[in-house]
Amino acid sequence: MKKNIIVAASGIFFVGLFVLATTFYNKQQDEDLNRASKDNIDNVQRDHSAIMGPLDAKVTIVEFFDPACGTCNAFYPFVKKLMDDNPGKVNLVLRYLPLHQNSDVIVSILEASRLQDRFAETLGRAYQSRERWIEHHVAKPQKFWEQLAGLGLDMQKLNEDLQSPETARRIKLDMQDAQALNVNKTPGFFVNGKRLTQFGYQQLQDLVESEIAANY
């Protein structure tokens, strides 16, 4: 056999094996993730979590998010649009998974803002001003604090609430649930308890639409 044929065949063999192994591995992972979310269905949603949209909607998106995460920021308007496009049918449960350094302080501020009924506004501001309070992937809580002007927040109460044991307990529980469900990247989505295994806008939209079709 000619050597260039042998070499070309070997190259194709390697690429083919890689593609095959990747497909197989991803399929296996998807099955594992689906099993993990089925086995731990109670961990997907908790009563304490922030919820947006109609409470009686039959399709619930659960998003594990980190306000310091750029992809979460990019997905936020998309998820809102999904809710607007299907009025009354979809709501969103937001759960904390602060993976960036110091991001846990930012999510405690978010959680504390709920007690003043300013969660959506505070989260909107957090995403909107992201570049001003993140430096080299590290969240700067002091700088974030400065961005909160004009939201009608009682800053003293906010400061007290963000240090409360209940706030810490909720964030810890969210993070433990994420671990139990094998969510180690943000945003992590579940739609009616079903895990979004292949990540992407279209994939999320498809999953939401299939759940709408099944429930309405």
Partner 1 sequence: MTEDKIKTAEQQAWILIFICWLIAMAALFGSLFMSEVMGLKPCLLCWWQRVFIYPLAILFLVGLFPKGHTEGNKVDPSIVRYTLPLALIGWGFAIYHALIYYSIVPEALQPCSEDLSCAQINLQLMGFINIPMLSIFAYSGIIGLLLIYRKRSFQ
Instruction: Report, in Å, the least distance between residue 136 CB and partner 1.
Output: 14
List 191's β-bridge partners, or say none.
61, 194
Point out which span in 11-19, 40-48, 144-152, 208-216 binds partner 1 (CB under 8 A): 11-19
Query: Is residue 9 part of the contact set for partner 1 (CB under 8 A)?
Result: no
Binding residue (CB under 8 A) for partner 1 from 9, 12, 21, 138: 21
Binding residue (CB under 8 A) for partner 1 from 9, 12, 22, 85: 22
Q: What is the secondary structure of 139-196 as a DSSP string?
A: E-HHHHHHTTTTS---HHHHHHHHTSHHHHHHHHHHHHHHHHTT--SSSEEEETTEE-
Binding mask 41-80 vs partner 1 (x if CB under 8 A, - otherwise)?
A: ----------------------------------------
Point out which span in 5-13, 39-47, 76-84, 91-99 binds partner 1 (CB under 8 A): 5-13
Binding residue (CB under 8 A) for partner 1 from 9, 14, 149, 152: 14
Query: Is residue 199 part of the contact set for partner 1 (CB under 8 A)?
Result: no
Sign of CA dihedral 159, 165, 169, 175: positive
Task: Yes or no: say if 167 and 161 are a contact pair by the CB < 8 Å rule.
Answer: yes
Residues 25-44 that bind partner 1 (CB under 8 A): 25-26
Counted residue by residue, the chain has a size of 216
Query: Is residue 138 part of the contact set for partner 1 (CB under 8 A)?
Result: no
Distance (Å, rounded) from C-alpha 40 to C-alpha 179?
Answer: 11
Point out which span in 7-15, 59-67, 149-157, 158-166 binds partner 1 (CB under 8 A): 7-15
**Assigned token pair, 109:** 């501020």
With respect to partner 1, which residue has the nearer C-beta, 53 or 188? 188
Point out which span in 20-28, 118-126, 150-158, 194-202 binds partner 1 (CB under 8 A): 20-28
Of 41, 31, 9, 12, which Cα lies nearest the Cα of 191?
A: 41
Query: Is residue 136 part of the contact set for partner 1 (CB under 8 A)?
Result: no
193 C-beta neighbours (distance < 10 Å), count = 16
DSSP letter, residue 9:
H
